[in-house]
Structure 1
């Protein structure tokens, strides 16, 4: 298969639209007809107690859910109006446009900082000259807020960085393939408050050039960083659903559903 030549100019901002997403693990249904529009150039926060399907929903947005044995899915995920689950589209294609940052930083520990950043190119069938890779590494690390801290040690192992730096390295690695959407699954849950502030600032700066969807259990974080949010809930023995979604300021200040009010005010969860 021919490789794709790397072009660095940023792609136009993308809207992600999930329509009637239901998901199963074997016979257990974990999501029921979830629909949510994640607007271009905004940060959308997915909130709700543990076990309500937030992370599962996030994984459906770049076709990670289907890699789990016994997993099944119904519904559509539209990237600018085109379903990423269409038979003609591959998982690699979906991930080239929709990147992912996980809860626990997962750089390749023995691989250099430099090689960590460019590692996604091979996986997405993109190639670049050495000088172009140099530019890409600098650009990606700058966008992730890490360049000034590591520019003099790019050949050191990624595992030598602190936890917060490793998470920003993972963000840089995701950005290096120029995604149009960036998914983040509790990216600050394992970090100290100082690193959390840096990651949050990075997210808010990136939202001008990439659409971001974040799962978080931190209500203050959701209020600080997101433009819109969606509250997920699963009653005992039932699959997760969205109870309420909208502007973050509205969901937190004047929610329409009493269950939302109880959750955002800390009365359960």
Structure 2
């Protein structure tokens, strides 16, 4: 369902032709994500108001802001997880290389395959082996891969996630037996196995120790050459370390979340245009 204002709900119709030029795929083959005028509701409660943001190909975009300002909701909208909530509705468009992820002819499974998600809490299938965790998404998305190719894919994605050397001799052991940081990297490998064009990360290091956090950040730096990344983080030092661009979300009491300011991370931290941005990134509130 799509809610056009605070009282009217209609079914999603055919995609409306964009008035802005449709972006071409990046020359490197990486995908760009763009949100246009996204508003979101849970029942009658409006949580985002006309949020627009361009997330360029091959870059890490960090979503920052206090709790409750709609960052995670916005992230879930980018791969159609918002609609899993029965009372949820939204207005606006999400474009992956200019194509609307919410268009009527687009399958939800295809949208979620192309835009993967890594959650705040590591969620491997605990009784399933490390190997089977990595390839689990293939069955869910209907991708058929030969046994030999699966073996290569497991090694490739675990290597990209920075985990291969640690687990290559115990691939048949349960994924749930790994440490928290290893489980999170296993989840990254599982997301990469279906070849997403963009990867969303919702506070992926919030439950991890400093050493595991550093490994995840190193993984992000390596992956961005192959997949466009959008990350929610409350850690300003982490945002400064890993992201190329930042978007600062804020919700005043009783009002939906909006983007106060967005731009290159260095400018957001060193020369913000809005005093509220300066106050937030320098720890004066939030």
Normalised TM-score (structure 1): 0.96
Q: How far apart, in 2, do the equivalents of 1:12 and 1:123 lie? A: 25
- Aligned to 1:127, the other structure's residue is in SS state coil
Q: How far apart, in 2, do the equivalents of 1:182 and 1:137 lie? A: 18
Q: Deviations 1:163-221 (Å, cap 9, x if unpaired)?
A: 00000000000000000000000000000000000000000100000000000000000
User: What are the ranges of 5 or more consecutive residues in structure 1 without an aligned counterpart?
Assistant: 1-10
Q: How far apart, in 1, do the equivalents of 2:159 and 2:144 lie? A: 21
Q: How far apart, in 2, do the equivalents of 1:70 and 1:183 lie? A: 23
- Aligned-pair CA distance for 1:224: 0.2
Question: Matches of residues 61-72 of structure 1 in structure 2 within 5 Å?
Answer: 61-72=78-89
Name the structure 1 match of 2:42: 25
- Aligned-pair CA distance for 1:132: 0.5
| Alignment RMSD (CA, Å) | 0.6
- Aligned to 1:18, the other structure's residue is in SS state strand
- Aligned to 2:196, the other structure's residue is in SS state coil
- Aligned-pair CA distance for 1:44: 0.2
Name the structure 2 match of 1:178: 195
Name the structure 1 match of 2:209: 192
- Aligned-pair CA distance for 1:96: 1.2
Q: How far apart, in 1, do the equivalents of 2:208 and 2:136 lie? A: 24
- Aligned to 2:91, the other structure's residue is in SS state strand
User: What are the ranges of 5 or more consecutive residues in structure 2 without an aligned counterpart?
Assistant: 1-27
Q: Aligned pair 1:130/2:147, yes or no?
A: yes
Name the structure 1 match of 2:283: 266
Q: Aligned pair 1:141/2:154, yes or no?
A: no
Q: Which has the higher contact order (CA 8 A, sep 6+)?
A: 1
Q: How far apart, in 1, do the equivalents of 2:103 and 2:136 lie? A: 27
Structure 1 runs (4+) deviating above 2 angstroms are none
1:223 to 209, 229, 240: 240
Name the structure 1 match of 2:108: 91
